[in-house]
Structure 1
Amino acid sequence: MPLTADADIAALLANARTLAMIGASDRPDRPSYRVMAGLQAHGYRVIPVNPQITGEHVHGEFVFRDLDQLGDPIDIVDIFRRPEAAGEAVDEAIATGAKAVWLQLGVINHAAAARAEAAGLKVVMDRCPLIEISRLRLAPVAQ
């Protein structure tokens, strides 16, 4: 079961330092653009992943094609993809050794969530980490 208890979500966010954002956008009108900026302002390192803008920079971070290209360990993979495409992103997160996957608001894929949990990853589904940080009144993370 995906994490739903406030204490579990707060602990996941408090212990994370580096997130990879699959579906990050360089367009200010997109939710992923605003969420990335908000997470960075809260102290997280957010690495954008988007094959359509690979090599560009979003909020000062180089955009990677996929998670395989990242050299740093990832605490949470934040997934901004359609529900039917989220499974591939979850499988990539499992393969690269991420600790958790976070499926954004409206991204519901129970089969992918079950695969992640079976692989030992924590899962949050149909929530936004930036909203949860505000709702739970979490302090900024220290790098």
Structure 2
Amino acid sequence: MTARGLGARLEQSLVPHAVGTPVRARLKNIPCPVDRGKVLRREECVPDIARSAVAGGARTLWRQMGLRSLKADRIATGAGLDSVRDRCLRIEAGRMSPR
């Protein structure tokens, strides 16, 4: 999962920084509000990630293409998060940008 906040990135990674931002192993370790949690993990991991996003105060749970967990969707939306499934953030951003 990557989490978009104010200069923090959450990943299961062995490196301390990625793309110029600190890497955190858990959402709760990010010292700032998290706007969007983007999930890039196996489908069976997604409900636990949704619970982590809820507990960590994320506002949106975004699951990349191929991730369609309805259970994760119920967890996220039940806690008031926006929930997006089976969508590529880059593709969607391109569709919304003016030409």
Q: Is the 8 A contact 2:33 2:58 kept in 1?
A: yes
Select the structure that is richer in strand: 2
Determine which structure has greater relative contact order: mean sequence separation of CA pairs < 8 Å that are 6+ residues apart, divided by chain length. Answer: 1
Secondary structure at the counterpart of residue 63 of structure 1: strand
Secondary structure at the counterpart of residue 120 of structure 1: coil
Asked if 1:51 corresponds to 2:12, the answer is yes
Select the structure that is richer in helix: 1
Question: Corresponding residue for 1:21?
Answer: 2
5+ residue gaps, structure 1:
1-19, 23-38
User: Offset of 1:88 from its aligned partner?
Assistant: 1.1
TM-score by length of 1: 0.62
Q: Please give the alpha-carbon distance, in whole angstroms, between the structure 1 residues aligned to 2:30 and 2:75.
A: 22
Q: How does 1:22-37 map to 2 (within 5 A)?
A: none
Q: Is the 8 A contact 1:21 1:46 kept in 2?
A: no
Q: Percent same amino acid among aligned pairs?
A: 28
TM-score by length of 2: 0.87
